[in-house]
Structure 1
Amino acid sequence: MIMSVPEKINVLWFLPTHGDSKYLGTQEGGRQVDLPYLQQVARAADQLGYYGVLLPTGRSCEDSWIVASALIPTTERLKFLVAVRPGLQSPTLAARMTSTLDRLSSGRLLVNVVTGGDPKENGGDGLFLDHSARYEVTNEFLDIYSRLLRGETVNHKGPHYRIEDGRLLFPPHQDGGPPLYFGGSSDAGIDVAAQRVDKYLTWGEPPQQVAEKIARVREAAAKVGRTVSFGIRLHVIARETTAEAWSAAEKLISRLDDSTIAEAQKVFSRLDSVGQARMSALHGGRRDRLEISPNLWAGVGLVRGGAGTALVGDPATIAERIDAYRRAGCDSFIFSGYPHLEEAYSFGELVLPLLPTAHPVKGRGAVNNMGPFGETIAGSYRPRASAS
């Protein structure tokens, strides 16, 4: 099979609706995440030229649909990657929500299909299905949901859903509905991805492992006559020098104690997520083996579930590491960093202009501002320009 390497990429940022901090695993340096702060992060991402933002989902987060609805009027171009939850929502209700937000945002909605989750949290939401059954539900859900968004009238009787005369009166802005993003490392997850979604997401494993996973998903999609594009979810610590970046990485976990790490790893070990198991195996909960690939650091995963790795370095080095994932097949990159407002600027100003983005970014003609760029000198003089 011929591997397709994307020429251009889309770069997204992350909205920390579960909280933000300067230090992981402690209240020290914690920051209140209210609507004004989320507006700051979203506006920064919009102005810097990020393609969109990911909104997380789960009981530790503010509701992603409501947050996106509140932020769309305060931004201009930014897209919002918002989650649907098979098993927690009916496919018809989710389709109406999707169509409404897509229409009211003039097509700035992306949809993240989330099947996994902590079994205890799922139980708190009334969902008591095992891993295999959740993916069966997801497959059936997406069949109904996608047909509705394509404008079909749906009559369906399956093992999990019964729909009679299901239809949308108000179509989405995007023809056929927003693109579907999805992640799942198990056989069942890859099977759903091959049949139903537009973009398969992976967490930040080393490039070779990501390439192997992409090849596996691409082959599964080809067997059912489909093609799928690919994205990756990573944290980032970008500084002017690599030494500064590694110092910032160490500072981020400098308040973590061993008991906090052990407790977090205990929680992760009870999950039935294959992707989470792969993340945890990268570092084993140990502080002495965190650089798992050149400039790929697993320190975030000591206490954070899901995406647990960060690219660490100077702008040129990070751009080079990103390009390795592009060559592996990724055309979409979803980044985050602590604190999310400051790191959005650090990455957005230092690294984003170096990347082959499919969308305009600040520093490459996206901003029509005659200056001055930088602080005016002595009240009268513009700062001197220097070649980058």
Structure 2
Amino acid sequence: MTLTFHWFLPTYGDSRYLVGGGHGTAPAGAVGDRPASLAYLGQIARSAEQLGFVGALTPTGAWCEDAWLTTAMLASNTERLKFLVAFRPGLVSPALAAQMAATFQRHSGQRLLLNVVTGGEDHEQRAYGDFLDKNERYERTAEFLTVVQRLWRGERLDFTGRHVRVAGAELARLPDPVPDVYFGGSSAAGIDVAARHADVYLTWGEPPALVAEKVDRVRRAAAAMGRAPRFGIRLHVISRDRADQAWAEAQRLLDALDTATIERVQQGLSRSGSEGQRRMLALHGGRTENLHIAPNLWAGVGLVRGGAGTALVGSHAELAERIEEYHAAGVTEFVLSGHPHLEEAYWFAEGVLPLLERRGLWRHPGAPRPEPTNSVPFASAR
């Protein structure tokens, strides 16, 4: 199986420095030198498509622009690029979400992917009017996805759960194809939802051995239900011609951070109820020393950003090797980003992807299909 690469749309702003925001951080932390205008996001989207990325993740939260509206307005900027739209179940009804996805799928030319985010921060969920606790949110997510996926199959549905209830729900027009559901969760409850409903299980960028353990847990849980999801990883990247150039860039980003900002963000993230966020914080403990936590894996991003907090840093050849290690651990999809997102997309795609292509691990999604080896009809029957 060839690998799939996605990029990221920074709908909270972009910069030549690390931009805050992410998992449960305050909206005020999400600022950048480059505003998240449609013109700039469209520039990133068009470049990602040209370079060979299959899709682009758009985040969700109080710290960024709305993902549904932004991607719908960007769809006409590209022809092939898919939009991995992050959204939170429970803030809209499952029947409406199923209808929105079907509409998006038709009008975008079958270019919707869905990243379902349960929501790990009580305070942020309450700001949206959601007062369930973490375990209740996972229960609701499971019920929500049950309704959505049954509606996508064309069922007329009556459903009564603890958190979700619909009567006579159905879709007038079904999505074709049904969009893949991407889902991440490191707790037992999260893994159970992923095993039952995810087409792609997403993890944040831990060292390959830890990723392999998590992949194995999800794979076994899904197999018990007769399912076999794919696996993806969310990482930042700093890729250069030489390793010393990449690490110098990482150091430049680190040098620009002030202690007060790091302490403020870390204090906020330490209150997170997310098991995935706890695992991210454990990689660096809020300290600026010893951020090189595994070969070519740097935890500096997580000092000022919630959620995905690690970056692959090194030469193009080194990053290709690390990607092969994650592939050996079971990962086939990579959701990547960099600062700034426009330039780093070119560094990675022009430096790393050709190396993976030569190893038979990647193929540009826009490349023409190879001609059949045997071009003479019935020649093999001689």
Pair 1:23 & 2:17 matched: yes
The partner residue of 2:80 within 77, 80, 83 is 77
Tell me the SS of whatever aligns to 2:249.
helix
Q: 1:243-322 to 2 correspondence within 5 Å?
A: 243-322=244-323
Please report how far the alpha carbon of residue 83 of structure 1 lies from its aligned counterpart in structure 2 after TM superposition.
2.0
Q: 1:11-160 to 2 correspondence within 5 Å?
A: 11-24=5-18, 30-160=33-163
Q: Which residue of 1 aligns with 2:241?
A: 240
How far does the alpha carbon of each residue in 1:316-371 deviate from its partner, in whole angstroms, 9 at most, with x for none? 10000011000100010000000001111111111122224554168x779xxxxx
Please report how far the alpha carbon of residue 25 of structure 1 lies from its aligned counterpart in structure 2 after TM superposition.
5.7
Are the aligned partners of 1:155 and 1:163 in contact in 2 as well (CA < 8 Å)?
yes
Please report how far the alpha carbon of residue 118 of structure 1 lies from its aligned counterpart in structure 2 after TM superposition.
2.4
Are the aligned partners of 1:25 and 1:260 in contact in 2 as well (CA < 8 Å)?
no
C-alpha spacing 1:107/1:236, structure 2 compared with 1 (3 Å): same
Are the aligned partners of 2:47 and 2:342 in contact in 1 as well (CA < 8 Å)?
yes
- Matches of 1:111 and 1:254, distance apart in 2: 36
Q: Which residue of 2 aligns with 1:231?
A: 232
One-letter amino acid matched to 1:164? A
One-letter amino acid matched to 1:309? T
Are the aligned partners of 1:92 and 1:166 in contact in 2 as well (CA < 8 Å)?
yes
Please report how far the alpha carbon of residue 31 of structure 1 lies from its aligned counterpart in structure 2 after TM superposition.
1.5
Pair 1:328 & 2:322 matched: no
Q: Which residue of 2 aligns with 1:169?
A: 172
Tell me the SS of whatever aligns to 1:194.
helix
- Matches of 2:302 and 2:75, distance apart in 1: 31
Pair 1:189 & 2:190 matched: yes
One-letter amino acid matched to 2:149? S
One-letter amino acid matched to 1:342? E
Please report how far the alpha carbon of residue 120 of structure 1 lies from its aligned counterpart in structure 2 after TM superposition.
1.4
Please list every run of 5 or more consecutive structure 2 residues that lacks an aligned counterpart in the other structure.
21-29, 370-382
Are the aligned partners of 1:10 and 1:357 in contact in 2 as well (CA < 8 Å)?
no
Please report how far the alpha carbon of residue 117 of structure 1 lies from its aligned counterpart in structure 2 after TM superposition.
3.5
One-letter amino acid matched to 2:11? T
Please report how far the alpha carbon of residue 30 of structure 1 lies from its aligned counterpart in structure 2 after TM superposition.
1.8
How far does the alpha carbon of each residue in 1:41-73 deviate from its partner, in whole angstroms, 9 at most, with x for none? 000001111111000011111111111111111
Are the aligned partners of 1:203 and 1:306 in contact in 2 as well (CA < 8 Å)?
yes
Please report how far the alpha carbon of residue 187 of structure 1 lies from its aligned counterpart in structure 2 after TM superposition.
0.2
Pair 1:10 & 2:4 matched: yes
Taking structure 1 as the reference length, what is the TM-score of the superposition? 0.89
- Matches of 1:218 and 1:49, distance apart in 2: 28
Are the aligned partners of 1:84 and 1:94 in contact in 2 as well (CA < 8 Å)?
no
Q: Which residue of 1 aligns with 2:179?
A: 178
Please report how far the alpha carbon of residue 253 of structure 1 lies from its aligned counterpart in structure 2 after TM superposition.
2.0
C-alpha spacing 1:48/1:365, structure 2 compared with 1 (3 Å): farther
Please report how far the alpha carbon of residue 292 of structure 1 lies from its aligned counterpart in structure 2 after TM superposition.
0.4
- Matches of 1:23 and 1:150, distance apart in 2: 45
- Matches of 2:256 and 2:293, distance apart in 1: 22
Q: Which residue of 2 aligns with 1:377?
A: none
One-letter amino acid matched to 1:185? S
C-alpha spacing 1:329/1:68, structure 2 compared with 1 (3 Å): same
Are the aligned partners of 2:13 and 2:31 in contact in 1 as well (CA < 8 Å)?
no
Are the aligned partners of 1:25 and 1:255 in contact in 2 as well (CA < 8 Å)?
no
Tell me the SS of whatever aligns to 1:67.
helix
Identity of aligned residues (%): 55
C-alpha spacing 1:65/1:29, structure 2 compared with 1 (3 Å): closer
Are the aligned partners of 2:208 and 2:325 in contact in 1 as well (CA < 8 Å)?
yes
- Matches of 1:25 and 1:250, distance apart in 2: 15
- Matches of 1:294 and 1:328, distance apart in 2: 15
Q: Which residue of 2 aligns with 1:380?
A: none
How far does the alpha carbon of each residue in 1:74-102 deviate from its partner, in whole angstroms, 9 at most, with x for none? 10110110123112111001000000001
C-alpha spacing 1:191/1:28, structure 2 compared with 1 (3 Å): closer
Please report how far the alpha carbon of residue 225 of structure 1 lies from its aligned counterpart in structure 2 after TM superposition.
1.7
- Matches of 1:334 and 1:234, distance apart in 2: 6
Are the aligned partners of 1:25 and 1:256 in contact in 2 as well (CA < 8 Å)?
no
- Show structure 1 runs of 4+ deviating over 3 A: 25-29, 356-359
Are the aligned partners of 1:11 and 1:357 in contact in 2 as well (CA < 8 Å)?
no
Please list every run of 5 or more consecutive structure 1 residues that lacks an aligned counterpart in the other structure.
1-6, 367-388
One-letter amino acid matched to 2:8? F
- Matches of 1:137 and 1:361, distance apart in 2: 36
How far does the alpha carbon of each residue in 1:140-179 deviate from its partner, in whole angstroms, 9 at most, with x for none? 00000000111111111111122111000011121xx101
